[in-house]
Each structure stands twice: as structure tokens, then as C-alpha cells.
Structure 1
């Protein structure tokens, strides 16, 4: 099984006349094309529904937790509890997805169904069969979206796509390849980088030990680097968790530009750019846009300082943060239990 993608492999003994479905290429799926979903909603076997592909590469839904890898096909074909595990089929009769979940306040179909792309299912199943586990690559970086506001503060084109490096794992693949804090990653292994989730998925699907070409923007100049992809599982065994993982947030330094936008008197602290679902931070009400000034009464101004201070606080089981609430503008202390 692989909980991080909600997939599993089941071994069966086939009969001589057993028919099987053909896997299609989910990368070739077009938004708007017709699809068919098959499953057993509410226990009603062999139910067939039809709809279209509403979107591709849906991520950050939060259904698989902070460690999950989300890259769903969205469809308005009616999907209800009991459809999970059934195929999403194109009009050629090819399986282009595995129905996985719905987003619904009523727990019934509201036209927001999500399927795991067939290419991901193929890749994960092959790894499970060959290795008994999923082998994933890693870079050893903390990254965040390159928003128009950040691009403007860095004097870049507002329309520029990519992700910005906020921190690196000491001695990790990215640092060894020459990637630096503040680099904007534009291209990974020949593919343009559009978002954090996309890059994370691409790195995870790369075999450890493989060399890939990385194109970054550094001080307004493009630089090409070769990166030897690491093994995520081995890294997790040998590397202690850092602060952003323990707390479940991503942070960046409060720049003068951010300080002006927030109406602050001076640029200090780190601002939260993302809060993971079901994380320690979410549990105590910390939100995107909040600013952390101190961790256990030590000043923090960079992602690196933040990671070290929270990791140290975890040894005592909690982190006491001096935090500015984004909604009210009030500054106060909050205690966050850490496991």
C-alpha cells in the first residue's frame, strides 16, 4: 500500500478467460473531454455515470494530509461513497484514472469528484510490485510559490512562473548541486515548473541516483545545474525533522516590501505562507499570513532560524510562539504542542 497516494496493489489469481482493462495515458487527457465513472455507490453495484474532465493537476485539496502527493483529475461525473477504487474511463474504453474522493458538504455528489491519474497509478503499482514499497526522489529544499507580489519585490516579471527556494537541507542534493537560497526554479528535467505541488510530484517520481538538469533564475540570470536526486526514505531515516515539518507550515522572511504591505513599522520575523491540513499549527488556529517573531523567546528572522528553533523546542514537547495575528493585527504568545 501507499497511503501518500491512496493506492494499493492487490494480487489475484486470474482465470483463463479473465478480461482486463487497458490503461490510457492520463497526460494526454484534455479538459472538457467526456469520461465515464464506474463503481458501487451506496452499495449499488456496477453503476455507470458520465461527465467531463473539469480540470487537471488538482492539488492542495488536503485529503491525503501534509505528506500526501495530490495530482488529481477533476470530473463532474457523479461520484458518491462507494465509487472509490472504480475506474474513470475515456471514450476509447481506456482507464485514465482511479476514482478516489469527492469534495462535498453533504457527502453526496456535487459535481466535484477526483480521480488519481492512470500514469501515477501505473508508476506507484510498479514500484510496489518491484520493491514492496514506493521509492521516491527528493531534492532537499524548502520552496514556495512565486506570487506576483514576491516577483515584484524581487524585481521580476509578474507573469513569471516557477517556485522560489527558501531554505536548503545541509549536505542535501540541492545544496550539493549548487542551488542557493533565493533561487527561482524555472525548469526541472526539461519541464517548466508551474507550482510547488507540481515540482514536488516530479521530484518524487524521479528515481534516486538519477541526474537531472535544473534551470534556475539567480540575480536575473538563468543558471543550469545538474542535480543527483536523493532517496526520500533514506533521508527521512537519517535526518531529524525540521521546524516547518514539525509545525506543519511554510515560512519566508518578512522583507521590507512585505512589511509595507502589512502596515508594519519594520521588517522582522517570518511570515507564514502555507499551513498544512491536520498539522500542529492548524490545530491551534495559526493561519496563512500570520507573522512569527519569536520561538521560545528567541528572535527568528529567517526560515533557517525558524527550523532550528522549532526543532529544539520539539525536544521539550511544545513551542511558544510570539505571533502577530493576520486578521486582528494583535501580537501575543501562543503555545503549540509538538509530538
Structure 2
């Protein structure tokens, strides 16, 4: 059985892919099919003293930097097929609303031709012979790709490779005399350093915006493998895939997303770091497929109070194992639901994102070592990593069978401010719960209770309490009674909601 994700984590509201809206990266290797000449490589402006000390007059104007790098930045126009359900209404990727074609086009009962729509993004040359970096989400579903250069030329492009995990892609145009830029790997930008984004916002092309590095190592994408650079240079729809430069004209990131309640810039943008971008795109240029290690666990960060609820030191950091894929590498090695992973390969981890990236970086066939807390004791578990399945394989996989609910379990009991019921066929039908989901369903929460304050919704299924399997209201009551008897301030609940599984600490009132 395969699971959709290796971890479970809520995504930030308001996060928008810059698929039609970001700026991008740089790279310093020759093209795969031609030996580029140094004459077309855009050299960084010499730095004076500190790696990121602005050259004289830098804050006064970015004109020289823009003139230097603009020829390497391109506008990317794509044609994308759009699914059209029966009834003629169809969804354009990236937009939150649907469209109905004019009367006589795509109505019911007609021979409907495939619908297409246009999209736009940004990119930049990374070699003299026509390799271009952009975002995966700009070109992933494209049936046609065209590149418009700063001198007005329009060229057809073909997809070379893409990596959904980092949202990076490489395309290529024919030619051997293109201006190109390079990724900066040696000098790390600091929070507060100037940056310049160049790209194609709203299809305007050739647009430069400036700002600073606002933060580093942002973990905004629970399904990806990036720790983003946050910038406040304005990036909007159409900037996706374009480069972010430092004050010396070196590419430090590939812009990929913005945080915005409106879909337009509010000064919070995110760029894929140059180090990651170069590593991935260099392999894509060579025709390689990006492979990542996989062990088959669903993990999440320990919520506040979880360590104490499990009887662990309050200072413990790590990742909580919420699910283990049946017959997967982790299960075969002995990993269990409820384990708290505190180290990977002997290195302390802060949470689920770090664990996920370390597993992904493990070569297929190599061993990854988990240090876990289980029942209050440390254990070492060695797991042999396999190749991570594709997103399509993970999406299509389902669990079959599963234990049935405990016969004769008490229904509609009230436990710590929650009215809970066993998962009978009628209850499953009422809340749309599949047969493989086990636990007790929350029918409602008592107003003012701790459960109500946590926002546990009706229809949520409590599957574990302090790592004890819950199949009936009585199981839940026993776990809470045991936590009280041990003097613990709360109980850690593993809860399945319509938005995915999560864990919360239910505070226990003091007697």
C-alpha cells in the first residue's frame, strides 16, 4: 500500500503559486549539447569587501544590474488543455472560479472540442545553447511552449525535464548564442540584503522590482523539498520561474510562490534557493530523473504539549509518526504508529520537514537510521530506503480492508466535552467515511469545552489517544483515565478530519 504523503501538515492559507507569477534562478555549468563560450556568460558585478556589500551607489539605482541581466530573462507563454465536465463549465488552472463557454460552444449534446487556455510565466537562460530554468507549475501541463526574449524574438521551446517536488523545470530553445546567467552557490544572502526580481508579471514582460531578503529557510510547502528564501521585492502572476538577483547580478533564487489574500503582491514572496535549483536543474539538463528516498510513513510536528502528554521531556523535538504504510520499508523495519522520531542518522531534527528532506536525500537502497521514543524508551531503527513513488501512484493508492469497529461499543458517549460515537455503517454514511477508517467519530463538541476550543469539527475521527488505538468510546475513556492517573496535563489525540490527519493535545482539567 502506498500513502499519498510522507507527512501530514496543514498548508498556510493564502499561499499562491506564482505559476503565472514569479522570478527565477541561475546556473554556471555549460550546456549539455554545446560547449558555451565565455563571451555570452553574464559575469557578476565585482564585489568589494564583504560578499554582499553593495557596490558604490547601489541603493541609488539598479539600472546597471538590470541592463546586465535582462537579456538572460525570458517570458514563457504556454497553451494548456482544460478539462470540460459535462454541462460545459470548465476550470482554468490557477484561477479560483469557473467559466461557461458562450452559447453554441461546448454545450450539452454537442461534439465538444478540447478546450485550451493560455498561461504565462518567466524563466532565464542558464547556458549559451538555450537551456532555460522555470517553475514546474508553469510548464507541467503545457501542450505548447513559446519563449519571448528581451529583444522581441519569439522561439518555440521543448520540455527537457521537470521535478514537481522542488517545483523546478528545464526547457530548451534551439540556438547557440544566448546570453545566460549563473546560480550563486558560495556567498549566502543574509536577511536584509538587497534583491532584484526580473520577470513577466501579468504578461507585461521585462519588469524589474527591488527589495530585500526578508527571511530564510521558510517551510511553506508541506509537499515539497524546499526551504524558501522570503523576499519583499514585488512578484505577481506571471513572475513564476523568473530569477531573483543579488546586488552583484548573481542569481540567488527562483521565485515560485507568493503569500497573498488577493492573489497579487503584498510584499511576501518565496524563492527556491540557488543551491537547490542548481543541483536539480543540472541533473534535469543531463536527462536524469530526480529520485528521492522513501520509507512509507506519515509524519507531523509534535504539537505543543504533546511531549508532556506522552510522558516525554518537555524539551523533546521531533516528528510524530501518524501512519505507517502497510508492508512498506518503515513497517518492515519495525516503525510503529505513535513513535516519536528525534534523530535521523544520529542528527537531531526539529520536526517533520527536516525528517522528510533527510529521507528524500537518502539514495535508493541506502539505510536511514531513525532514533525514536517509544513507551518512554529510546530505540534505534535501521530502514532501507526505496525509490519514492510518483505523486500519481501515491494519489491512486488506497488501503483495502482494515479491522472492524469493536462490536457492542458504547455509542453517543460524552468524553471530555466531545460527543463521540462508534463507526457503524449508518454513521459512516452520514459523515462520508470510508470503510478503512477506524476510530470514533465526533458528533459534536460541548460549547466552552476544551475540545470546542481546539476546533475539532463534527465528523472528525479520533483514531488514537496517547498512542493507544481507539475503536470505541470506551477505548477513548480508558486512555484519558490512564493519562489522569499518570498525572499528565493532557492527552495527545490523532484525529482524521476532512482536510487530512492531524494531532492535537486535549488539555485535561485539573481535579
**TM-score calculated relative to the size of structure 2:** 0.46
Q: Is 2:402 aligned against 1:232?
A: no
User: What is residue 291 of structure 2 aligned with on the other side?
Assistant: 135
User: What is residue 170 of structure 2 aligned with on the other side?
Assistant: 9
Tell me if the contact between 1:36 and 1:48 (Cα under 8 Å) persists in the aligned partners: yes
Tell me if the contact between 1:295 and 1:309 (Cα under 8 Å) persists in the aligned partners: no
What SS does the corresponding residue of 2:326 show, helix, strand or coil?
coil
User: What is residue 254 of structure 2 aligned with on the other side?
Assistant: 98
Structure-2 separation of matches of 1:189 and 1:51: 39
User: What is residue 368 of structure 2 aligned with on the other side?
Assistant: 212
Structure-1 separation of matches of 2:301 and 2:384: 23
Tell me if the contact between 2:220 and 2:228 (Cα under 8 Å) persists in the aligned partners: no
Q: How does 1:130-169 map to 2 (within 5 A)?
A: 130=286, 133-169=289-325
What SS does the corresponding residue of 1:23 show, helix, strand or coil?
coil
What SS does the corresponding residue of 1:226 show, helix, strand or coil?
strand
Structure-2 separation of matches of 1:153 and 1:179: 21
Alpha-carbon spacing, 1:330–1:157, altered in 2? closer, same or farther (3 Å): closer
Structure-2 separation of matches of 1:332 and 1:224: 37
Structure-1 separation of matches of 2:383 and 2:185: 28
Q: CA shift at 1:296, angstroms?
A: 3.9
Alpha-carbon spacing, 1:329–1:44, altered in 2? closer, same or farther (3 Å): closer
Structure-2 separation of matches of 1:173 and 1:131: 28
**TM-score calculated relative to the size of structure 1:** 0.66
Q: CA shift at 1:112, angstroms?
A: 1.0
Alpha-carbon spacing, 1:216–1:24, altered in 2? closer, same or farther (3 Å): farther
Tell me if the contact between 1:52 and 1:75 (Cα under 8 Å) persists in the aligned partners: yes
Tell me if the contact between 2:226 and 2:276 (Cα under 8 Å) persists in the aligned partners: no
User: What is residue 181 of structure 1 aligned with on the other side?
Assistant: 337
Tell me if the contact between 2:292 and 2:360 (Cα under 8 Å) persists in the aligned partners: yes
Q: Provide Cα deviations, 1:18-74, integer angstroms capped at 9, x if missing partner.
A: 443222239944333332222122344333222222223333457xxxx55553221
Aligned residues: 276
Structure-1 separation of matches of 2:392 and 2:381: 25
What SS does the corresponding residue of 2:331 show, helix, strand or coil?
helix
User: What is residue 309 of structure 1 aligned with on the other side?
Assistant: 436
User: What is residue 423 of structure 2 aligned with on the other side?
Assistant: 294
User: What is residue 316 of structure 1 aligned with on the other side?
Assistant: none
Q: CA shift at 1:165, angstroms?
A: 1.2
Which of residues 265, 271, 275 in structure 2 aligns to 1:115?
A: 271
Tell me if the contact between 1:102 and 1:109 (Cα under 8 Å) persists in the aligned partners: yes
RMSD (CA atoms): 3.9
Tell me if the contact between 2:442 and 2:457 (Cα under 8 Å) persists in the aligned partners: no
Structure-1 separation of matches of 2:444 and 2:299: 23
Q: CA shift at 1:140, angstroms?
A: 0.8
Q: Provide Cα deviations, 1:89-114, integer angstroms capped at 9, x if missing partner.
A: 23453322101122223332211111
Tell me if the contact between 1:76 and 1:113 (Cα under 8 Å) persists in the aligned partners: yes
Greater helix fraction, Structure 1 or Structure 2: 1
Q: CA shift at 1:323, angstroms?
A: 4.5
Q: CA shift at 1:228, angstroms?
A: 1.5
Structure-2 separation of matches of 1:123 and 1:208: 17
Pick the structure with greater CA Rg: 2
Q: Provide Cα deviations, 1:194-215, integer angstroms capped at 9, x if missing partner.
A: 2323322332333321222322
- Which consecutive unaligned segments of at least 5 residues does structure 1 have? 244-258, 270-292, 300-305, 312-320
Choose between structure 1 and 2 for higher RCO, CA contacts under 8 A separated by at least 6 residues: 2
User: What is residue 198 of structure 1 aligned with on the other side?
Assistant: 354
What SS does the corresponding residue of 2:168 show, helix, strand or coil?
coil
Structure-2 separation of matches of 1:5 and 1:20: 22
